[in-house]
Amino acid sequence: MKIFRAVLAAALCLTVFSGCGPNAENTKPASDDKAFLTITDDTGRTVVLPEKPERVVSLATSYLNMIDAVGGKIVGRASSKIGEMPEAMKNVPEVGFVYNINMESLIGLKPDLVIANKNQHEKFLPLLESNKIPVIAINPKTYDEVKDKLILMGKIYGVPEKGEAAAAKLDQQVKAVTEKLPKDGKRIVIMHATPSNVTVELENSIAGCVAKMLGFQNVAVGATPIKGKPEKTPYSMEALVEKNPEIIFITFMGDSEEIENRLRADVKSNPAWASLEAVRNNKVYLLPERLFLLNPGLHYPDAVKYMAKTVYPEVFKDDK
């Protein structure tokens, strides 16, 4: 809240969220009926699993709760200092942090399936393939993509019904939130702040997807994405003033003091900030990293409720 009080005070002194794009997972029995499963991953690669995997390694901790939801086990995982860790996976051998995987340790575990992140681990695919280790690279961000991957986990572990049930449970949890809300289609913008720059998030980002699920109008829809970052578009004060959002959400990763200084400098250098309806009405909100920058996985309903409760606190005043 310190960030927002500083930004709002500086600005005012100058005046003296359907499922965010379906991404159905392509899975089917392999062409030879002896294979267990064929998967087309998020890189477009076709991966054939001859048998049900028994030695799975996950290179992203954000996938662990999805694996756990279908009763899956792993023999190795990425290290993590943040995020939720299923109890049964806390003492599993580690293969390095998600951005710095130790390939020798990974290969030494002799996995029969590695579940990697498309953005962070695509460079490792040739090495794993050369060692004849099956690997899929996925990158779920939107709600529909998370559900697709839940269903995929069920298929990988030979319990497709558990994947379907887990996805259906998410739908029920989301509906319990969205059915309470007014259908007023508030105009919103989601800004992503780092110490060095500010960008705007589109509907295919996590926060953008949640906003769309809540029926909000993202004023950045239709903007040209940044090359290599399809979920973001460049920040433009002129466009922001023209669209005049009712609510500003801010996601950030990094040192909060540096980001506060960055935002304060932007506000002081541009009086147009004070003209924004969201700023005038103190409707500028911080979104926590764990739900809106890191893949929330099974906690997508928590992200939906967090944003909904932020905008409509009166609707949830009786919730504990």
Query: Over the stretch 20-76, which tens digit does the pLDDT of each residue have?
Result: 765 545 665 545 568 899 999 999 999 999 999 999 999 999 899 999 999 999 999
C-beta contacts of 262-268 below 8 A and 24+ residues apart? 262/193, 262/194, 262/195, 262/196, 262/198, 263/3, 263/6, 263/7, 263/193, 263/198, 264/6, 264/7, 264/10, 266/198, 267/7, 267/10, 267/11, 267/14, 268/10, 268/14
Q: Is residue 222 part of a domain?
A: yes
In a shared domain, residues 10 and 72: no
pLDDT computed for residue 265 by the predictor: 72
Query: What pLDDT is recorded for position 41?
Result: 97
Domain-embedded: residue 63: yes
Query: What is the pLDDT at residue 313?
Result: 96
In tens, the pLDDT along 177-194 reads 999 999 999 999 999 988
- Please tell me the predicted confidence (pLDDT) of residue 34: 82
Based on the structure, what is the number of domains in the chain?
2
Structural domain span for residue 272: 2-19+182-311
**Residue ending a domain, choose from 86, 120, 141:** 141
- 218 and 301 belong to one structural domain: yes
What confidence score (pLDDT) does residue 25 get?
Answer: 52
Residue 171 lies in a domain: no
| Together in a domain, 9 and 39 | no
CATH number of the domain that 292 lies in? 3.40.50.1980
Burial class of 181 by CB neighbour count within 10 A (0 to 12, 13 to 18, 19+)? middle
Q: Would residue 146 count as lying in a domain?
A: no
Note whether 14 and 51 are same-domain residues: no
pLDDT at site 94: 98
Predicted pLDDT of residue 261: 73
In the chain, DSSP assigns E strands to 26-28, 37-40, 46-49, 56-58, 76-79, 94-97, 113-117, 135-138, 187-193, 198-201, 217-218, 232-234, 247-252, 284-286
Within a domain: residue 161? no
Identify the pLDDT of residue 253: 78
pLDDT at position 21 is 62
| pLDDT for res 294 | 85
The pLDDT assigned to 112 comes to 98
Q: Is position 155 within any domain?
A: no
Q: Are residues 64 and 9 in the same domain?
A: no
Does an H or E element contain 255, and which?
A: none
**Same domain flag for 296 and 187:** yes
Instruction: Show which of 87, 118, 141 is a domain's final residue.
Output: 141
Sheet of 46-49, strand order = 26-28, 37-40, 46-49
32: number of Cβ within 10 Å:
9
Cα 65 from chain centroid? 14
232 shares its domain with 121: no
Clarify whether residues 107 and 217 are in a common domain: no
How many Å apart are CA 251 and CA 238, to the nearest integer?
21
User: Which pLDDT score, from 0 to 100, does residue 50 have?
Assistant: 96
Do 227 and 278 fall into the same domain? yes
> Which pLDDT value is given to residue 13?
45
Do both 31 and 99 map to the same domain?
yes
Is residue 256 included in any domain, yes or no? yes
Residue 319 has what pLDDT?
A: 80
> What is the b/e burial string over 247-262, where b = at least 16 CB atoms within 10 angstroms of the residue's CB?
bbbbbbeeeeeebbeb
Q: Is residue 158 part of a domain?
A: no
Global pTM reads: 0.86
- Residue ranges in the chain whose pLDDT is less than 70: 1-18, 21-33, 83, 256, 264, 267-268, 320
pLDDT of residue 16: 39
